[in-house]
A and B are shown apart, each in its own frame.
Chain A
């Protein structure tokens, strides 16, 4: 009974809080630009509206076009279940769940890319190619970061990996993971979520032909992914296991809020980079995580 309650609470936490983050980001952007901006709850309204709409299907598309967004959404939700939430711990934890977590994220991306190509539109193919080629570099950085955490804590389970303090590598890891967060969630220096100019869209190009409930699943999944990375970043940097449960929960909430505001600020202060400059930034993220790994490894020896 107790575990059921825990599960429901955790699901609520991920499902209901996630759409708040894009709203906060948009509010910060509006505030920096001196506008009033859309309400913080805008994404909830959008999701409710999309849920009531019908689906427009291309004659070319197979049933996978509708199924794959759902698979993506489930993969992201499962990844969220593996991620510990400060004092609550993880919904499910076992040795090596970090690997499963990485592969669930990859599965989510694979399904989005596949669904994008179902309609046979050239733009979606282009967006997919860009998204996947960025992902190759971002994934290397993410794997290096997970390795660093694993070496530091001597464990392969996310719940025990994210507990102990990172020491000197924390700053490197924070910078690296923040860049990965921006790249994985298609935020500004890599992709502009507001652009609808066909030649520059990346993620938006992939979801161009979706409508109704599948689009709602995609949008909700994207917001969950943002929350997932923000939670990972905060827990990787802050020494969660050393704080009291209440303080840890508060620190996690404040940290996630801080990361969200930082994303909004980056988005208002930076322009997106030219395509050929992106690999340099992602390589930098990879190196930051790699050096965090090095610090964890060397620090363990000394």
Chain B
């Protein structure tokens, strides 16, 4: 029963991956990313008997990934007044096809991995692989710093999905530490985005590779 619910949630997260790859609008990208964070936050309560530790992890994940981090990214977006990714390095159709291909490959190849029998029927591993791949495509293929940050966060969502396999073994502190790192990272990024905008008049990260005297 819970298994089916879990797989449905992971399927939704995979759909959000493709949405994130296909959209050129930054607000929609951020919303997809935060919705994925919320879905991921709900998952531990379905996998475990909900005691206070699990609930705390879930609440922290939902609060951090679903509300706080997207809020900061939106603020950064407003300050620099950019809401479109106009010239991606990998176009939207190729990147959505790459993402879909990666998702299908992840689904097809997971049965070959030596998994525990209780994970064999779950979508956790293919979902994690597909989400990590989506994050990578966004990081490589987009030029605006904010979309790259979203790619990084989606990548982290994939790693979190992998982490859910170890939910019994993983101590609470590790989860909390990862979440804290992430929040601080995005916090700093929000400031840097503003600085990049002021120094270069653009958020195009390609300009950061050229040297000035």
A residues within 8 Å of B by Cβ?
A: 168, 279-280, 283-284, 287, 290-291, 294-295, 298, 302
Closest 6 CB pairs of A and B: A287-B100, A283-B93, A280-B93, A279-B93, A280-B92, A302-B121
A168 to B22, CA, bound (A): 23
B100, A290: Cβ atoms closer than 8 Å: yes
B107, A287: Cβ atoms closer than 8 Å: no
With contacts A287-B96, A302-B121 known, what are 13 further pairs, Cβ within 8 A? A168-B8, A280-B93, A280-B96, A283-B93, A283-B97, A284-B18, A284-B96, A287-B100, A290-B100, A291-B100, A294-B104, A295-B11, A298-B107
Binary CB contact string for chain B from 1 to 35 against chain A (1 if under 8 A, 0 otherwise) = 00000001001000100100010000000000000
Q: Which residues of B contact A291 (CB under 8 A)?
A: 15, 100
A283 to B18, CA, bound (A): 11
Q: Smallest CB–CB gap between B104 and chain A, Å?
A: 6
Chain A, interface SS category: helix
Q: Which residues of A contact B15 (CB under 8 A)?
A: 291
A-B contact number at CB 8 A: 26
Q: Smallest CB–CB gap between B213 and chain A, Å?
A: 40
* 17 interchain pairs, CB-CB under 8 A: A168-B8, A168-B11, A279-B93, A280-B92, A280-B96, A283-B93, A283-B97, A284-B18, A284-B96, A287-B18, A287-B97, A290-B104, A291-B15, A291-B100, A294-B104, A294-B107, A302-B121
B residues within 8 Å of A by Cβ?
A: 8, 11, 15, 18, 22, 92-93, 96-97, 100, 104, 107, 121
Q: Which residues of B contact A290 (CB under 8 A)?
A: 100, 104
A280 to B8, CA, bound (A): 25
Nearest B residue to A282 by beta-carbon distance?
A: B93
Q: Which residues of B contact A168 (CB under 8 A)?
A: 8, 11
A280 to B95, CA, bound (A): 11
A280 to B11, CA, bound (A): 21
Q: Which residues of B contact A287 (CB under 8 A)?
A: 18, 96-97, 100
Q: Which residues of A contact B97 (CB under 8 A)?
A: 283, 287
Q: Which residues of B contact A280 (CB under 8 A)?
A: 22, 92-93, 96
> Which of B8, B11, B96, B107 makes the CB contact (< 8 A) with A283?
B96
Nearest A residue to B104 by beta-carbon distance?
A: A294
A287 to B22, CA, bound (A): 11
A298 to B122, CA, bound (A): 11
Q: Smallest CB–CB gap between A293 and chain B, Å?
A: 10
Q: Smallest CB–CB gap between A97 and chain B, Å?
A: 28
Q: Smallest CB–CB gap between A283 and chain B, Å?
A: 5
Q: Which residues of A contact B100 (CB under 8 A)?
A: 287, 290-291
Q: Smallest CB–CB gap between A93 and chain B, Å?
A: 32
A279 to B18, CA, bound (A): 15
Nearest A residue to B8 by beta-carbon distance?
A: A168
A215 to B100, CA, bound (A): 42
Q: Which residues of A contact B11 (CB under 8 A)?
A: 168, 295
Q: Smallest CB–CB gap between A301 and chain B, Å?
A: 9
A302 to B111, CA, bound (A): 12
Q: Which residues of B contact A302 (CB under 8 A)?
A: 121
Q: Which residues of B contact A284 (CB under 8 A)?
A: 18, 22, 96
A284 to B21, CA, bound (A): 11
Q: Smallest CB–CB gap between B142 and chain A, Å?
A: 16
A291 to B107, CA, bound (A): 11
Q: Which residues of B contact A279 (CB under 8 A)?
A: 93
A284 to B100, CA, bound (A): 10
